[in-house]
Amino acid sequence: MDEPEDHTAASGRYCALVAICMAALILPLSFTGGAVATPAIGASFAAAPSSLAWITNAFMLSFGSLLMAAGALADLYGRKRLFMLGLVLLVIASMLLASVRSIAWLDALRAVQGVAAAAVLASGSAALAQAFEGHARTRAFSVLGTTFGLGLAFGPMICGLLTEHFGWRSIFLCTAALAAVSLLAAAMRMSESRNPQAQYLDLPGVLSFSTTLGLLTTAIILGPHAGWRSPLMLGLFAGALLSLLAFVAIEAGASRRGRQPMLELSLFKYPRFVGVQILPIGTCFCYIVLIVLLPLRLIGVEGATPLHSGLIMLALSAPMLVVPLLAAWLNRWASAATLSAGGFLVAAAGLYAIAHVAIGDHLQLMLAMLIIGIGTGLPWGLMDGLAVSVIAKEQAGMAAGIFNTTRVASEGVALAITLALLTAQVGAGLTHTFPPNRSHELAQRLVMGDLSQVQGLDPLMLQAAYQEGFATLMLILSGLTVLSAFTVFFFIGHPGRAASALGHEGTMPKGEP
């Protein structure tokens, strides 16, 4: 009798893995699709550059700000239930995006897509952590990381193909179809699980955290145009700081009263837990921002077709099909700290190489992108498994929520920062030829890949200004990636683990110190 039950349980676990990995294909497609389609959307709606920036930032902002809340809801009401609700919302939002008639509605619906993505990712990650244990859990999360890599690898090419032959709206129809298939798979075999200790949703914590991210991201996006010292900017930054302080006070107060907070602040006393949160921040600056910046450069500045741009992007993301699994295998002999730090140093070398690639030199660009993809794949293949290994299994939703919030929130903030830096650098290069207001407008359009409104200007002059600014940005990102390498090596290589320090039994991969 036990044998069939064990077989049924195992079958259910792997069916859940399939459903979650299918959903994981959708999330990078939603992310990369907006970037590839931005030039076409800008031409379609004659949109302002600031509106085009929100095509990606609206998705990332709602995605990142609600992940911890989604993790708490998954623990409270059930991982399968929230996973399916998220997929339903993703189908609806994607269908509406395919028929939208204004840039304002498109940006708003991209935010709704981010809400759905938060529910899907947080509940799916928590369900995997609950279904698998030990090395099986590490392998499951390695498969999940590879699936993300698959979406990142082929997402730009697929979106470019769809845009070129069927228009940008077909990207959202494709997203809706994939979400519907994942929903069907989850409904059939995925098992329900929840945290019996979870009692309530920390609504004040959700609101204060979301406000912090929203005000900070808005300030970074508007800063280059409004002026960093303007009353508007000072007000936005002050509001973000006050909201952050309120969030910390709310979470600390919940812990003192014996209530389960959305974010257990005491976890940040443990170096290994902090190190795990630094991993996705490092990958943002050496990899994620390039997923957005490079298609805008290739399509908008260099004049490549969307499909050609997608094919070039394979050099950056194709290593994600192999290297994350390789990292999990190497972790049997080398520590996660060593592998992750080494990967960041390799990626930093690739960023340094990109800084010296001329406009139109696609061969050299692809070689540098390949180096970055290989380097980033090492920490990428380990960080999902590490994230749920430094906290008790019963708090899997919180662990997934904290880590994925750090990942996605840092992606949104890093993207906003890099766009602002690139705009400032390109604008500085144009001030020798144009007055400040005109140079800033041109810089914004160059950075967003939207030259449809620019007529009668020397394209070589514009490309030269862009290249100079892009090179400076790559050198800055290379330095940040080197800093990430040393920081990660110190924190993750630190002895001890957060889970055991909290009185729980943690599970770490064999190669861990």
Orientation angle between helical segments 396-430 and 362-387, nearest 10 degrees:
150
Q: State residue 434's pLDDT score.
A: 77
Structure confidence at residue 42 (pLDDT): 82
For 58-107, what is each residue's pLDDT tens digit? Answer: 888 888 778 777 877 887 788 888 999 999 999 999 999 999 988 989 99
Q: What is the DSSP letter of 358?
A: P
Closest to 123 (Cα-Cα) out of 223, 56, 191, 185: 191
What is the b/e burial string over 188-197, where b = at least 16 CB atoms within 10 angstroms of the residue's CB?
Answer: eebeebbbee
Query: What is the CATH architecture of 2-201+262-501?
Result: Up-down Bundle (1.20)
Taking the C-alpha atoms of residue 131 and residue 194, their distance in angstroms, rounded to an integer, is 11
∠ Cα 456 457 458 (to 5°): 125
Extract the tokens encoding 329: 């295998």
pTM (two decimals):
0.79
Regions in the chain scoring below 70 on pLDDT: 1-12, 133-134, 138, 145, 194-201, 258-262, 388-401, 451-456, 494-513
Instruction: Find, among 21, 210, 216, 24, the residue nearest to 117 by Cα.
Output: 24
Give the per-residue pLDDT at 2. 40
Taking the CA atoms of residue 161, residue 162, residue 168 and residue 173 in that order, the dihedral angle to the nearest 10 degrees is: -150
Ramachandran assignment for 227, one of left (phi > 0), alpha (psi -120 to 50 degrees), beta (any other):
left
Contacts of residue 139, defined as CB under 8 A and 6 or more positions apart, other chains included, come to: 132, 328
Looking up tokens 């990428």, which residue turns up? 380
Number of continuous H segments (helices) and E segments (strands) in the chain: 19, 0
What is the pLDDT, as a whole number, of residue 198? 60
Burial of 82 (0-12, 13-18, 19+ CB in 10 A): buried
* C-alpha dist (Å) from residue 50 to 25, 296, 377, 508: 28, 14, 32, 44
Distance CA 81, CA 2 (A): 28
Query: What Rg, from alpha-carbon coordinates, does the chain have?
Result: 22
Residues 6+ away with beta carbon under 8 Å from 14: none
Q: Which two tokens stand for residue 480?
A: 């940040």
| Interatomic CA distance for residues 46 and 55, integer angstroms | 14
Sign of the CA dihedral running 298, 299, 304, 305: positive
Q: How far apart are CA 208 and CA 65, in angstroms?
A: 10
- Report the largest interatomic distance among the alpha carbons of the chain, rounded to a whole angstrom: 81
Q: Is residue 378 a contact partner of residue 342, using CB atoms and an 8 Å limit?
A: yes
Q: Please write the tens of the pLDDT for every residue from 484-512.
A: 999 999 888 765 544 443 333 333 344 44
Single-letter code of the amino acid located at 258: G
**DSSP H helices in 132-168:** 134-166
Residue 400 half-sphere exposure toward CB, CA atoms < 13 A:
27
Q: How far is the first Cα of the chain from the last one, in angstroms, to the nearest whole number?
A: 41
